[in-house]
Amino acid sequence: MPPRVNTAQRRLLKEYQQLTKDSPEGIVAGPVSPQDTPYENGVFPARLTFPTDYPLSPPKLVFTPAILHPNIYANGEVCISILHPPGDDPHQYERAEERWSPVQNVEKILLSVISMLSEPNIESGANIDACKLWRDDRKEFERTVRRDVRRSLGL
């Protein structure tokens, strides 16, 4: 078996093909912010960084600029289980099935992000300030997010 040096590229192209040919609901050119949440109507640029050994290792998703969310680090990096490589979870918060495996793909990641935006997971928060705000002062949280949304739209 020759080494599959360009598996990553080939697979990404395949996924791209798949996405354009048969895009899942809610994704046109990118994920649409879920409705009925403060993130509604927002346009949040994000960058997916794929490692060389993709799909063996998960990609990294970073919102540029960062947005306020309990599961997004202050530097914009998204912290959800599907983006975590299997086997290096010291606290056993997440089950192995929830983590990255080559079966996952960009589409799943984007869907997970949409779900994350509408339902933050406070238990494994990445941004403690956002967690606190979300838990203690939901109104303020939503106001801040809406402000970010407006800013993202250039309003």
* Residues designated catalytic: 79
Part in contact with another protein (CB under 8 A); list of ranges 30-38, 93-101, 118-126, 140-148: 93-101
Among 19, 32, 48, 111, the residue binding another protein under the rule CB under 8 A is 48
Spacing of C-alpha 77 from chain mean position: 8
Part in contact with another protein (CB under 8 A); list of ranges 10-18, 30-38, 110-118, 137-145: 10-18
Dihedral (Cα; 100, 106, 107, 111), 10-degree rounding = 60
Please name which of 155, 153, 132, 154 lies closest in space to residue 33, comparing C-alpha atoms.
153
> Under rule CB under 8 A, how many of the chain's residues touch another protein?
40
Q: Give SS3 for 83.
A: helix
Helix axes 138-152, 128-136, angle to 10 degrees: 120
Among 31, 38, 42, 55, the residue binding another protein under the rule CB under 8 A is 55
By the rule CB under 8 A, 25 interacts with another protein: no
Q: Which residues bind another protein (CB under 8 A)?
A: 1-2, 4-16, 18, 47-57, 62, 64-66, 75-76, 86-87, 96-97, 101-103
